[in-house]
C-alpha cells in the first residue's frame, strides 16, 4: 500500500514536530534538573520511555526527584530494576496542592500502571501517601519510611519535589506483609492454616486488609487455635474488602462496607483514632496506608472474631464495588458508604490545579522556563 505523497509528508512532519517538541522539553527538563544539582536524575531521564516523557508534558504534575545521594550507586540499566516503572512511580497524575495537606495522610495517584506491578481495579494507577508535618515539611510515606521533601523547584508544568531516597514500588501482599515486622504472627498463621487463600488475595484487583498485629494474634491464639479451616477462612475474610483499596481518607465516621465474608464492616473515627467493627469485635487502626501492588493494608490492634459468612452478600458487594471502581481512575474515591449524603471523603483527595495557591507555595528555586 502507498500513501499519497502529501499525506505521507504531513505524517513525517508531524512525527518530526512531536519528536522535536519532546526532545526540546526533555533537554530543558534535564538542564533544569542539572541546574538544581540533580545531575544523576537528569542523566537517567535518557532512560525514560517516550510514553512517560509524552505524558509528562500533558497536564500538570508533581515529580518526586531523588537527590544525587539517593541515586548514587543506582545503575538505570540494571536488569533487576525496571527504571521505567520507577520513574513513573515518582510522577503524580495531578500536581499536589500542598496548601491542602495536613498531618493526616492524603493519597495521590501516580503515573505507574500495568500488571503485574499494579493490580488495582480498572486502569487505576498506583498511589503515593503524602502528608505535611506541623512545621510545614511535606512528607511522602513509602516502604515504612517518612521521607521529607528537602527542596523544591518548578519546570514548565512540573513541580519538582526533591527527596533523599528513591521511592520503592509497593510489592505484592505476601512480600509487604512479610516485610512488616509486626505482622509476622499473621503471616505465619495464614501460611500455616490457609495457604490456598493467599493466591486469591494476591490476585484480587483492589484489596483492603485490616491486618491484626502480633499482640492481637497472640491474644486471640486460644480461640483461633481451636477453629477449623472454614471458621478461620470466615474470620480472615471479615478482615478483607474485595475489589477496592480503602485508603484512610476514605474511612469516615459511621461509614460502612461489606467484607469479603459478606458481613458489614463499620467505621468509627473520633478523637481517639480510627476504629473498624465486625460483628461484636472492634479494633483500632494502629498504622494506616501500607501499600501493596493490589491495594492497602491497615494494621489493627485486635482480631475481628466474626465467624459468620454470607457468600451471596459477599458476591453482591464484590460485584457492585467492581462496577463502581471500573470507571474510577482519578483521585481515589472508594466505595465506602458515607455517613451523610455526598461523599465527605472525596474532599481530602482533591488537588485543585489552582496556580495561585501553587505558585504561592512553590516560592523556592524556580528552574528554567517559568511555570506561568
Chain contacts with ligand NAG (rule: CB under 6 A): 24, 28, 59-60, 82, 84-85, 98, 100, 102, 104, 114, 117, 122-123, 133, 135-138, 149, 152, 157, 171-172, 174-175, 200-202, 204, 228, 230-231, 240, 242, 256, 260, 264, 266, 268, 270-272, 275, 282, 315, 318, 337, 347-348, 353, 355, 361-364, 368-369, 371
Report the alpha-carbon distance of residue 333 to residue 347 in Å, rounded: 9
Residue number, 264 or 330, with CB nearest to ligand NAG = 264
Q: Residues 32, 73, 117, 246: is their CA dihedral positive or negative? A: negative
Give the shortest CB-72-to-ligand NAG separation in angstroms: 22
Give the shortest CB-7-to-ligand NAG separation in angstroms: 24
CA angle 352, 129, 283 (to 5 degrees): 120
3-state secondary structure of 159: strand
Cite the DSSP H helix spans in 240-370.
311-326, 355-361
Give the shortest CB-4-to-ligand NAG separation in angstroms: 28
Give the shortest CB-2-to-ligand NAG separation in angstroms: 30
Residue number, 217 or 241, with CB nearest to ligand NAG = 241
Nearest residue to ligand NAG, by Cβ distance, number only: 364
Residue number, 144 or 347, with CB nearest to ligand NAG = 347
- Beta carbons within 10 angstroms of residue 313's beta carbon: 16
Measured in residues, the chain has a length of 372
Residue number, 3 or 51, with CB nearest to ligand NAG = 51
Residue number, 26 or 217, with CB nearest to ligand NAG = 26
Give the shortest CB-189-to-ligand NAG separation in angstroms: 17
Residue number, 172 or 331, with CB nearest to ligand NAG = 172
Q: Pairing between strand 207-212 and 295-300?
A: parallel
Nearest to 242 by CA among 175, 313, 174: 313
Give the shortest CB-214-to-ligand NAG separation in angstroms: 22
Please give the torsion angle defined by the CA atoms of residues 192, 194, 199 and 201, in that order, rounded to the nearest 10 degrees.
Answer: -120
Nearest to 287 by CA among 100, 112, 145: 145
Q: Is 295 left (phi over 0), alpha (psi -120 to 50) or beta?
A: left
CA-to-CA separations, 100 to 33, 136, 220, 237, 311, in angstroms, rounded: 26, 11, 41, 35, 41
Which are the contacts of 280, defined by CB distance < 8 A and separation ≥ 6?
305, 306
Give the shortest CB-268-to-ligand NAG separation in angstroms: 4
Residue number, 71 or 140, with CB nearest to ligand NAG = 140
Give the shortest CB-109-to-ligand NAG separation in angstroms: 14
Residue 278 bridge partners (DSSP): 281
Residue number, 213 or 302, with CB nearest to ligand NAG = 302
Amino acid at each position: 500500500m502507498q500513501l499519497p505523497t502529501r499525506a505521507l509528508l504531513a505524517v513525517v512532519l508531524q512525527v518530526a514536530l512531536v519528536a522535536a517538541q519532546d526532545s526540546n522539553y526533555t533537554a530543558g527538563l534535564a538542564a533544569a534538573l542539572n541546574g538544581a544539582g540533580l545531575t544523576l536524575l537528569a542523566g537517567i531521564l535518557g532512560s525514560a520511555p517516550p510514553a512517560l516523557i509524552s505524558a509528562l508534558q500533558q497536564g500538570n504534575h508533581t515529580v518526586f526527584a531523588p537527590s544525587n545521594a539517593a541515586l548514587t550507586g543506582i545503575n538505570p540499566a540494571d536488569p533487576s530494576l525496571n527504571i521505567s516503572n520507577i520513574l513513573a512511580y515518582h510522577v503524580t497524575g495531578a500536581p499536589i496542592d500542598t496548601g491542602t495537606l495536613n498531618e493526616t495522610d492524603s493519597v495521590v495517584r501516580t503515573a505507574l500502571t500495568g500488571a503485574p506491578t499494579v493490580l488495582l481495579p480498572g486502569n487505576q494507577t498506583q498511589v503515593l501517601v503524602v502528608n505535611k508535618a506541623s512545621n510545614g515539611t511535606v512528607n511522602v510515606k513509602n516502604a515504612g519510611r517518612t521521607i521529607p521533601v528537602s527542596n523544591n523547584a518548578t519546570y514548565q508544568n512540573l513541580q519538582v519535589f526533591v527527596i533523599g531516597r528513591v521511592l520503592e514500588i509497593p510489592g505484592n501482599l505476601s512480600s509487604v506483609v512479610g516485610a512488616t515486622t509486626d505482622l509476622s504472627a499473621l503471616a505465619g498463621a495464614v501460611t500455616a492454616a490457609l495457604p490456598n487463600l493467599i493466591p486469591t488475595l494476591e490476585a484480587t484487583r483492589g484489596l483492603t486488609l485490616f491486618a491484626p498485629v502480633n499482640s492481637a494474634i497472640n491474644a486471640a491464639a486460644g480461640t483461633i487455635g481451636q477453629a477449623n479451616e472454614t471458621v478461620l477462612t470466615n474470620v480472615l475474610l471479615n478482615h478483607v474488602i474485595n475489589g477496592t483499596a480503602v485508603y484512610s481518607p476514605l474511612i469516615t465516621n459511621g461509614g460502612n462496607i461489606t467484607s469479603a465474608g459478606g458481613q458489614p464492616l463499620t467505621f468509627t473515627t473520633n478523637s481517639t483514632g480510627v476504629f473498624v467493627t465486625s460483628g461484636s469485635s472492634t479494633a483500632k487502626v494502629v498504622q494506616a496506608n501500607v501499600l501493596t501492588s493490589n491495594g492497602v493494608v491497615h494494621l489493627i490492634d485486635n482480631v475481628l472474631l466474626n465467624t459468620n459468612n454470607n457468600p451471596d452478600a459477599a458476591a453482591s458487594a464484590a460485584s457492585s464495588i467492581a462496577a463502581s471502581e471500573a470507571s474510577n481512575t482519578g483521585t481515589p474515591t472508594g466505595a465506602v458508604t458515607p455517613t451523610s449524603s455526598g461523599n465527605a471523603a472525596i474532599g481530602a483527595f482533591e488537588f485543585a490545579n489552582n496556580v495561585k495557591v501553587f505558585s504561592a507555595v512553590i516560592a523556592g528555586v524556580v528552574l528554567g522556563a517559568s511555570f506561568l
